[in-house]
Each structure stands twice: as structure tokens, then as C-alpha cells.
Amino acid sequence: MLSAGGRVHVMPNGKGRVAWFADGSRIVYRVKTSTKGSPAVEIKVSTPGHGIPPSQKVHFISKGASG
């Protein structure tokens, strides 16, 4: 849903997908990260403001997973 309206490409290393938007913003979804069992979403907006940071990274850690 986050990539709706963007151009989506598979990352060259095969670990996720990147969606680029016309305004220069992008969203990266990585299935495999350096944190075991923790997929991540990174959001970078081209025009931050109104309390929105220019970038945010969120790791999703499975309950019971250990790194």
C-alpha cells in the first residue's frame, strides 16, 4: 500500500523493493536486514515539514525473535 503511485523496483541484491515517487520521495522495504528476523521499512520524503521528519526507518521484530 505504501508504494501505491510509485515506480517499484526489486533491489539489485534481491533483499527488498524500492518505490520512487514523482516528488523524489522513496520507500524501501527490505525483507532481509543485518538484524536477524527483522524486516524493515525506510521512508524518505523529499519535502519534510509539518512535523514530518525527512526520513524514518522501522524494523519489525517477530515476537520471540532474538538477534
The pLDDT value recorded for residue 55 is 87
Compare 8 and 63 and report the one with higher pLDDT: 8
DSSP state of 1: -
Residue 66: the pLDDT is 56
What CA–CA distance (Å, rounded) separates 67 from 3?
28
17-56 pLDDT, tens digit each: 999 999 889 999 998 888 777 899 999 988 877 777 788 8
Domain ranges within the chain, ordered by starting residue: 7-59
Q: What is the mean pLDDT of residues 8-14?
A: 91
At residue 21, the pLDDT reads: 93
Strand partners, 43: 27, 56
Distance from chain centroid for Cα 12: 15
Q: Report the alpha-carbon distance of residue 50 to residue 30 in Å, rounded.
A: 27
